[in-house]
A and B are shown apart, each in its own frame.
Chain A
């Protein structure tokens, strides 16, 4: 495992933060970490990369304890709220970060060329960072995190300040890194993005993980049925509640969740048996957004 945590907890004085986080991130996967603002996502990342000291629990990153210098040689990190030295040019910044990674001069210049190519900033490297757009600043940030050819890359809300094209570029970078075998830990509240690129994900609310697993598992088992029916009476609705207690009916459409395909057949049978007229039944998989909202709301209750 690239990241293993056991009851990792970091609480601030106001008792906020993250608690009892248990996750395992496998090599070469893109792992999404989802949660509403203030849920504790960034606290978790900062603890894992050694900026914050855990209150309790343990974690191993690349097989070593948190903050280990050897492990840091192969870790890239792009923070959420950061500012690079505006007086530096892109090239200055990358040279500086190469020296922090202790790359020798020759190796550094090769790597700098390579990462500039990856983030599509060739030609802008001699301009001052202060003149860069938000998207460019984000990309130079990713470039500096890639200098060490990371085995593990932490990206904290990497696309939140970007336009759709910029977001796609960052997604493409993540997919390319995955292809090269890099493990990417992605903090994001952009659910569609996580859904598109992540292999696994965890959903965090109020500092605690409320659901985690492979992406396919997370979305599986929660098929949503949109049912167009008439003459729907209370008896039908009561029977449907036995399958999904959150069933809703707005007078025209019944909306409910089923866990197995067999239940789709059961639902249709119940409506017809109860005297309802069934005109349409559309099963579709729950989107991550729906799952996220449902879980977070449940967590808040």
Chain B
């Protein structure tokens, strides 16, 4: 399993898409730094403290973590849509599965190798966003608790790891391109579902809320992001409901049980991948 994980890790970090996303990440961080610096300067000129806090928390949440989260999601999808299917398509897998390893080990190795790289990338991005925010002298950053930041990071990586589990499963049952379309569609469903749920809460419309919740159960990626921002901004007290993208003041806080559901969702897809792959004809 570790041989597969190590090989997967090495393979991914040599891929062109990884280099492309690395460049994109650096550009993104430069842009974020520039925006936050300008925001920090303008805050100092605003008299109303509450308005400043509102603007800042919203900015950090929306620009910093939201787009970082999307970037990590994008990287995960791009790196993992062909995680198994590409090896099936080019025949590489034929020489691997005839070696003395179990198919379950192969699948777990693929998952762990990719997960490791995604976690390292996520940690880099997460820390970079916090450092940039701090350097921009945004006072609210100082109110972040270390524990909240750490917990937030766990939710920050939970999203790509869940996405990876879905990609892995898709990759064991269909071709790379089809898997890509399927996973991106599912991810989009989560984002739209999140907005619908917020809209439902904003307008007190139970039907919209129900649709949003069902979408979130099918595609829980946006919920994980929301949980992350609620965790990081928990120190903001009553302002913590600003932490969602789209409709400030209308966001619902995901429950602990929802996070338990997400963990079960992740494990379910990994096990489904192992089980399905164990019975599959190769070649």
> Footprint of B on A, CB under 8 Å?
42, 46, 49-53, 69-70, 72-73, 75, 77-79, 81-85, 87, 96-97, 99-102, 141, 144-145
Are A85 and B94 neighbours in the complex by a CB distance under 8 Å?
no
Q: A69-B102, A100-B101, A101-B100 are in contact. Are A52 and B91 (CB under 8 A)?
A: no
Are A51 and B282 neighbours in the complex by a CB distance under 8 Å?
yes
The minimal Cβ–Cβ distance linking B100 to chain A, given in whole angstroms, is: 4
Of chain B, the residue at the smallest CB distance from A75 is B98
The minimal Cβ–Cβ distance linking B141 to chain A, given in whole angstroms, is: 40
Q: A46-B283, A53-B281 are in contact. Are A102 and B100 (CB under 8 A)?
A: yes
Of chain A, the residue at the smallest CB distance from B3 is A99
List the B side residues contacting A96 at CB < 8 Å: 3, 7
The minimal Cβ–Cβ distance linking B198 to chain A, given in whole angstroms, is: 44
Name the residue among B11, B14, B281 with the largest chain A CB count within 10 angstroms.
B281
The minimal Cβ–Cβ distance linking A9 to chain B, given in whole angstroms, is: 14
The minimal Cβ–Cβ distance linking A92 to chain B, given in whole angstroms, is: 8
Assembled-state Cα–Cα distance A187/B185 (Å): 44
Name the residue among B4, B98, B102 with the largest chain A CB count within 10 angstroms.
B98
Are A97 and B94 neighbours in the complex by a CB distance under 8 Å?
no
Are A82 and B99 neighbours in the complex by a CB distance under 8 Å?
no
Which B1-22 residues have C-beta < 8 A from chain A? 2-4, 6-7, 11, 14
Are A83 and B90 neighbours in the complex by a CB distance under 8 Å?
yes
B92 within 8 A of A: yes
Are B92 and A100 neighbours in the complex by a CB distance under 8 Å?
no
List the A side residues contacting B99 at CB < 8 Å: 72, 97, 100-101
A-B contact count (CB 8 A): 70
Of chain B, the residue at the smallest CB distance from A78 is B95
Please name 14 pairs of A and B residues whose Cβ atoms are closer than 8 Å in the assembled complex, sorted by A.
A52-B283, A69-B102, A75-B98, A78-B95, A85-B92, A87-B11, A96-B7, A97-B95, A99-B2, A99-B6, A100-B4, A100-B99, A101-B99, A144-B95
Of chain A, the residue at the smallest CB distance from B280 is A53
Partner pick for B95 among A46, A52, A70, A79, CB 8 A cutoff: A79
Q: A52-B281, A53-B279, A96-B3 are in contact. Are A85 and B11 (CB under 8 A)?
A: yes
List the B side residues contacting A72 at CB < 8 Å: 98-100
Of chain A, the residue at the smallest CB distance from B2 is A99
Of chain B, the residue at the smallest CB distance from A154 is B98
Assembled-state Cα–Cα distance A73/B100 (Å): 5
Are A84 and B92 neighbours in the complex by a CB distance under 8 Å?
yes
Of chain A, the residue at the smallest CB distance from B282 is A51
Are A46 and B282 neighbours in the complex by a CB distance under 8 Å?
yes
List the B side residues contacting A87 at CB < 8 Å: 11, 14
The minimal Cβ–Cβ distance linking B122 to chain A, given in whole angstroms, is: 24
The minimal Cβ–Cβ distance linking B45 to chain A, given in whole angstroms, is: 52
Q: A53-B279, A87-B14 are in contact. Are A100 and B3 (CB under 8 A)?
A: yes
